[in-house]
């Protein structure tokens, strides 16, 4: 895929924008929306956008910042899961803390929001404390959202414990939406201003892109990504009224802005922001360098989201409205379920072989892999793809029987199936590569599968799904469960 986004320019102007906002206050609480470390959504729809660019931008400010992570107590109690990783929010918090500290960032604490004496939450707090991580408990704010006088009082934000911070820039992040980032920022600003500190708030969220058209594919891709939250992009009426300029925001920020503005004005004793767009520091829209590539990438992402939510519906993880909403977005862009050019070959191959199949696009060529007596479809297609990239003929076998025999014997003894998963195929191939130059050559081409499009005729789960994700292959699946065979 060609470059559609200028990452270097983005780092330069986004960093400058954050520093400008930083200078307006003695202390800035910056709500960081989305993923702090691995923004794969942005990387898929903005070719050239680096997945770790967000955290990389903060590296030069590392000595001036600290991080607070928030998690909703209800999400802990419900074992809420991050679908793309298959891990719970509390596990993700631990991952975020470990990643941050490894990179040299100071993690101040974890705030448990909307706490209501849940037993599972108490256990998680013990786990954090035993790992040397400070925790703070915030209960529901009295008076929220309508009684501003109570919210901005000792009964409201004042009832929350003050989080001791020492740096001028505090990043507030979470494993997912609805985690209480904004409430934590506002609570802290209340306490800071009571102490005579000129503390402020800003929001660093990549999507929707405020200076792109409302129906731009990039912004529609954001709607597709948040279809389960029922987010809708809208023209920011406050920005239009104040400045006479059109800006795009989303319904939740627009709906809550009057309350937020009132609270900030009461806490700070002055008006700083006149629209939800004012609060943001998002410069993504200025760094698109190839409009056609970005639009095409965004359309593909919307189709991927459609298949993902159809799978989630089949598994009971979302309601029917979620994928139907994405279908409406596809209709707006005049694209359909067959838009990805790996879908038709996968379905045709399945019909011909009457077996589960995955099709993958490698360069300009479509490679297929079917379920065999030895391999799962992901194992087959990846093996076929790297052989194609290495110009190794189909009739040459890369996996040595002497390596496969003990693996298959162990699987049989453990009762874990008769076929090799993708991770097992790659493990076997890596062992073979020590003595087989062709296997080594094939292994060296694995990295070329990054960003490849693939479509499965069944719902891929477990280790196969995780390994395809680790290889950064964009996978879509038909909403059919794999039958045991």
Whichever domain contains 222, its CATH number is 3.10.630.10
User: Within 13 Å and on the Cβ side, how many CA atoms surround 394?
Assistant: 6
Give the model's pLDDT for residue 259: 85
Q: How far apart, in whole angstroms, are the C-alpha atoms of residue 298 and residue 330? A: 11
Say whether both 357 and 451 belong to one domain.
yes
For the ranges 191-195, 264-268, 355-359, 466-470, which has the lowest average pLDDT?
Answer: 264-268
- pLDDT tier, 83 (very low <50, low <70, confident <90, very high otherwise): low
Tell me whether residue 110 is in a domain: yes
- Specify the long-range contacts of residues 324-331, CB closer than 8 Å, at least 24 apart: 325/223, 325/227, 325/230, 326/224, 326/227, 326/302, 329/220, 329/223, 329/224, 329/302, 330/302, 330/303, 330/306
Tell me whether residue 377 is in a domain: yes
pLDDT digits (tens, 9 = 90+) for 277-332: 999 999 999 999 999 999 999 999 999 999 999 999 999 988 999 999 999 999 99
Total tally of structural domains belonging to the chain: 2
Q: With b meaning 16 or more CB within 10 Å and e meaning fewer, what string describes 91-125? A: ebbbebbebbeeeebebbbbbbbbbeebeebeebb
Tell me whether residue 321 is in a domain: no
Q: At what angle do helices 377-389 and 462-470 cross, to 10 degrees?
A: 30
Say whether both 267 and 405 belong to one domain.
no
Better-scored residue on pLDDT, 63 or 483: 63
pLDDT digits (tens, 9 = 90+) for 412-427: 888 888 899 999 999 9
Q: How far apart, in whole angstroms, are the C-alpha atoms of residue 259 and residue 253? A: 10
Tell me whether residue 375 is in a domain: yes
Tell me whether residue 20 is in a domain: yes
Contact 41, 5 (CB under 8 A): no
The continuous run of DSSP H or E covering 108 comes out as strand 106-113
* Cα–Cα distance list, 34 to 55, 159, 177, 178, 278 (Å): 12, 28, 8, 11, 19
User: Average model confidence (pLDDT) for the chain?
Assistant: 93
Say whether both 102 and 21 belong to one domain.
yes
Give the model's pLDDT for residue 344: 97
Which residue is associated with the tokens 């049989």? Answer: 412
Arithmetic mean of pLDDT, 405-411: 88
Residues 6+ apart with CB under 8 A from 326: 224, 227, 302, 305, 306, 309
User: Within 13 Å and on the Cβ side, how many CA atoms surround 40?
Assistant: 12
Say whether both 241 and 95 belong to one domain.
yes
Say whether both 84 and 170 belong to one domain.
yes
Say whether both 276 and 357 belong to one domain.
no
Q: What is the dihedral of CA 186, 189, 193, 198, to 10 degrees?
A: -130
Whichever domain contains 436, its CATH number is 3.40.140.40
Tell me whether residue 482 is in a domain: no
pLDDT digits (tens, 9 = 90+) for 440-485: 999 999 999 999 999 999 999 989 999 999 999 999 999 999 875 4
Tell me whether residue 300 is in a domain: no
% of the chain surpassing 70 pLDDT = 98
The parent domain of residue 38 ranges over 7-287
């Amino acid at each position: 895929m060609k470059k559609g986004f200028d990452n270097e320019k983005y780092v330069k102007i986004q960093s400058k924008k954050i520093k400008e906002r930083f200078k307006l206050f003695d202390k800035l609480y910056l709500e960081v929306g989305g993923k702090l470390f691995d923004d794969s959504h942005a990387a898929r729809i903005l070719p050239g956008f680096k997945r770790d660019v967000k955290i990389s931008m903060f590296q030069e400010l590392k000595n001036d910042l600290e991080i607070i992570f928030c998690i909703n107590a209800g999400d802990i109690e419900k074992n809420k899961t991050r679908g793309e990783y298959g891990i719970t929010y509390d596990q993700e918090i631990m991952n975020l803390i470990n990643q941050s500290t490894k990179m040299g960032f100071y993690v101040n604490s974890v705030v448990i929001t909307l706490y209501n004496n849940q037993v599972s939450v108490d256990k998680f707090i013990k786990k954090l404390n035993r790992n040397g991580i400070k925790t703070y408990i915030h209960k529901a704010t009295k008076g929220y959202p309508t009684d501003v006088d109570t919210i901005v009082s000792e009964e409201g934000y004042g009832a929350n414990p003050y989080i001791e911070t020492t740096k001028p820039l505090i990043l507030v992040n979470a494993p997912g939406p609805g985690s209480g980032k904004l409430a934590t920022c506002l609570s802290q600003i209340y306490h800071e201003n009571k102490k005579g500190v000129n503390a402020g708030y800003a929001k660093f969220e990549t999507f929707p892109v405020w200076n792109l058209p409302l129906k731009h594919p990039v912004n529609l891709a954001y709607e597709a990504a948040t279809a389960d939250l029922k987010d809708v992009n809208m023209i920011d009426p406050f920005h239009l009224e104040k400045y006479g300029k059109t800006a795009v925001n989303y319904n939740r920020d627009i709906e809550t802005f009057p309350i937020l503005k009132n609270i900030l004005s009461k806490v700070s004793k002055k008006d700083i922001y006149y629209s939800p767009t004012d609060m943001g520091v998002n410069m993504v829209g200025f760094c698109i360098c190839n409009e056609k590539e970005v639009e095409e990438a965004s359309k593909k992402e919307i189709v991927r989201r459609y298949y993902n939510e159809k799978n989630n519906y089949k598994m009971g993880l979302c309601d029917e409205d979620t994928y139907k909403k994405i279908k409406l977005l596809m209709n707006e862009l005049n694209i359909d379920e067959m838009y990805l050019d790996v879908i038709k070959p996968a379905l045709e191959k399945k019909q011909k072989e009457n077996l589960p199949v995955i099709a993958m696009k490698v360069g300009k060529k479509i490679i297929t892999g079917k379920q065999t007596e030895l391999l799962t479809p992901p194992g087959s297609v990846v093996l076929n793809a790297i052989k194609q990239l290495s110009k190794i003929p189909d009739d040459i076998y890369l996996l040595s029987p002497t390596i496969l025999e003990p693996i298959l014997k162990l699987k049989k003894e453990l009762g874990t199936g008769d076929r090799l998963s993708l991770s097992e195929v790659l493990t076997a191939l890596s062992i073979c590569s020590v003595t087989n130059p062709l296997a080594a050559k094939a292994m060296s081409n694995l990295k070329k599968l990054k960003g490849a499009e693939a479509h499965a005729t069944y719902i891929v789960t477990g280790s196969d799904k995780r390994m395809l994700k680790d290889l950064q292959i964009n996978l879509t699946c038909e909403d059919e469960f794999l039958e045991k065979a």
